[in-house]
Amino acid sequence: MILLLVCIFLLVVLLARANREGTLIRKASDTIFGFGWSFLSENVDKEISGVKKELYSEVSGNVLEIGAGLGTSLKYLNMKKIKRFLAVEPNKAFHEGIEREALKTGFVVDYITTADIKQGKLVEKLKTSGNKPCLYIYGEFLAKNPETQELVASFGFFDSVIISYVLCSVGDVEQMLGLMGSVLSKSGKLYFNEHVSANENGSASEVIFHYFQELVTPIWGVFLGNCHLNRRTGEMIENSAYFKNVKIKRTTLAKSGFSRLLPVVYGSAEKA
């Protein structure tokens, strides 16, 4: 029995270390997560609806959402403030959901591909959005590469960047913060809500849950799209050189049950 447990532990460690961007393990992990999130997204959105209503009513101008999921953030926007919206979501199984929510919200919807960017078609697409604000769905990862640079050059720098439950799963949080800072306009703002590590110096239940998060995160990430339960994302944003005047609040997903132990931080930050 002990030998079996040791073997399982070693297997988990190996899988966790191999769970890198572009590997078969990550692709399988993302597929499992995508399937699960299609069922969980609506409930999670309801649990943090108060957070999103408070936060996203301020979003304005040229907007970028990284990790748009199924588009559940769109209904909280003040459409009178939105000029144009770029929804970045690498999981193409979610695109139908984004389009559906965008149309409900009052957007015109179009898709952007890497081929559009490389062939110089993007500027022309952006000219044909009509009177309504247009939401563009882009199904690739953003990175510091020529495609992203051309995307920003065509769209213009963004006035608002939105992330919701994104930094838990990226490979390098600081690198992503740097990327978001680089695409914001001089007066641009980041709007974020992220689940984070429980308080290790809090109540007895919080301390227990904190160490539970530490224990299960390696295997949790393998099966759920590299999601880390134990990241101190709020502190990372506060301490980032890419942002200033960080306004941050802390809450929980629910008042009772398991979800009350899962802390969420949300707020805004200005480009440094």
pLDDT tens readout for residues 109-157: 999 998 888 888 887 777 656 678 999 999 998 887 888 888 888 888 9
User: What percentage of the chain reaches a pLDDT higher than 90?
Assistant: 48
User: Phi-psi bin for 187: left (phi > 0), alpha (psi -120 to 50), beta?
Assistant: alpha
Range in 122-126, 147-151, 204-208, 242-246 with the lowest mean pLDDT: 122-126
Q: What b/e string do you get for 80-95 counting C-beta neighbours within 10 Å, with b at 16 or more?
A: eebebbbbbbebeebb
pLDDT for position 235: 95
- Calculate what percentage of the chain has a pLDDT beyond 70: 87
Which residues in 36-127 belong to E strands, given as ranges? Answer: 61-66, 82-88, 108-112
103-107 mean pLDDT = 94
Question: In the predicted model, is pLDDT for residue 258 greater than 60?
Answer: no
Tell me, which fold does domain 23-197+231-271 have in CATH? Rossmann fold (3.40.50)
In which order are the strands placed within the sheet that holds 61-66? 108-112, 134-138, 82-88, 61-66, 158-164, 184-195, 263-271, 243-252
Domain-wise residue ranges, the chain: 23-197+231-271
Please tell me the distance from the alpha carbon of residue 224 to that of residue 7, in angstroms, as a whole number. 21
Q: Which helix (H) or strand (E) holds 3?
A: helix 2-18
Distance from C-alpha of 198 to C-alpha of 195, rounded to nearest angstrom:
9
